Amino acid sequence: PPLSKRCASLQSIVHRSHSIQGVPAQGPKPSSAKHASSSSTQAKKGCIGLLLDTLRSEAITMAQPPLELFLITLAQSQDDVVLEGVDADRRPARLVVSGFRPHFYVGPVADDVDATNRQADLCRAAPAHAVSVTKVTRTFLCGIHEPRTYLRVAHRCGAAQSTLVRKCEQLWAEPPCEDGVPLLRRFLVETHLSGGAWLVARNVAEAGDRR
């Protein structure tokens, strides 16, 4: 059957744990928006609602029903993440996700550090990365230290993170950390997705020939 190609900037995804062995014998029944937003109904279906605030809104040319996708593979294409699998009718399907921004951290830094000035410095040094710098409080990955102040450096998918890390090392005394995580692994961690499981994308549009 032909490949169904759709694109979306996801406002929310429902991730459903499912056997990796295949799709259900019968496709799930269509649900209304009210039904889809009901947490009690989601629980009955074994769904976990995951709000993806990191993914920005995008104009959708034609409203489409929610896409239920059994995720098999994913790949990067420029600034997009491409998810491939089969839909509820067992047809091959592709979902192009825009708006995901990988990130790493710099620090710890002083509590009074000016993130706006740091972002301006980094944007001048690496204009192609579309950088954003925000101040966050977090515990180091190993969990050894108390929560400290860090800078969260995010950038567009298509820009090399290693280049941005070197710019940070040249500009600032504080070291980068949690850099070098493969982009697709970071995407799975941030969205709580996994291969061999169902997801539901609610805001999708037909992508035409976009691949």
Q: State the average pLDDT over residues 165-186.
A: 95
> Is pLDDT of 205 > 60?
yes
Task: Name the average pLDDT for the chain.
Answer: 75
Amino acid found at 158:
G
- Please report the DSSP string for 145-200 in residue order: SPPEEEEEEE--TTS-HHHHHHHHHHH-SSPEES----HHHHHHHHHT--TTEEEE
| Beta carbons of 27 and 89 less than 8 angstroms apart | yes
> Is pLDDT of 100 > 60?
yes
74-95: burial string, b at 16+ Cβ within 10 Å, e else:
bebeeebbbbbbbbbeeeebbb
pLDDT top residue among 189 and 4:
189
Preceding peptide of 66 cis, ω within 30°: no
> Is pLDDT of 99 > 80?
yes
DSSP annotation of 129 reads G
